[in-house]
Amino acid sequence: MKILVAYASTDGQTRKIGRAVADWCADAGHAVELLPLADAGDIDLSRFDAVVLAASVHVGHYQKALTEFCAAHAAALGAMPDLFLSVSLAAAGHNAEDWQGLEKILADFAAATGWTPNAVEQVAGAYKPSQYDVFRRFVMRRILASRDPDADPSADIEYTDWAALKQRLVGWIDTLPGAGRS
């Protein structure tokens, strides 16, 4: 099978996740194309058997590149197997309000684009003060303090559970029509 893995990433964690996902698809014997969503605008989705999209939450929204891509390709996306990876810091915790917030962000995204993913995984991202400017460091320190009060706010922290993500991805691949034949 041929799988498109396309991502939007502001600080690099979703790009890292996209790369890992592409490697796991290839390890499972599938042909993979890995692209930033910003470069995927006019791609012909009929060349692919399935698609994995990934984007991260910044101040309650996914990147514009994701929204534009999904709005432009809503019909084609709706006709193919998909997995959407929603990357955030909220997904690193167990706060019910945070998780409701993630559901709302997803619902708003679906309403705005006309595309509702069939399969969604909420993925914990990373806290990377080494990459933030003054404003983003301020915003993120507040988010971190409420979600992980014992964390050192001056150090980069990766919350992504790679083993769980791989298990999810491999499980999704197994659901694809003809997955066993690659």
Ligand X SMILES: Cc1cc2nc3c(=O)[nH]c(=O)nc-3n(C[C@H](O)[C@H](O)[C@H](O)COP(=O)(O)O)c2cc1C
Restricted to residues 44-73, the positions that interact with ligand X (CB under 6 A) are 56-60
Residue 14 C-beta: closest distance to ligand X, Å: 3
Tell me how far apart the alpha carbons of residues 93 and 99 are, in angstroms, rounded to a whole number. 9
**Residue 116 lies near ligand X (rule: CB under 6 A):** no
Which of 3, 5, 14, 43 touches ligand X (CB under 6 A)?
14
Site string for ligand X, 117-146 (x = CB under 6 A): --------xxx----x---x--xx--x---
Binding residue (CB under 6 A) for ligand X from 3, 13, 62, 173: 13
| DSSP H or E stretch at residue 123 | strand 120-124
Q: Please identify, using beta-carbon distances, which residue of 117 and 125 lies nearer to ligand X.
A: 125
- Here the contacts of 64-68 (C-beta below 8 Å, separation 24 or greater) are 65/8, 65/36, 65/37, 65/38, 66/8, 66/37, 66/109, 67/109, 67/112, 67/113, 68/41
Give strand pairing partners of 126.
158
Q: Where along the sequence are the contacts to ligand X (CB under 6 A)?
A: 9-14, 56-60, 87-90, 125-127, 132, 136, 139-140, 143
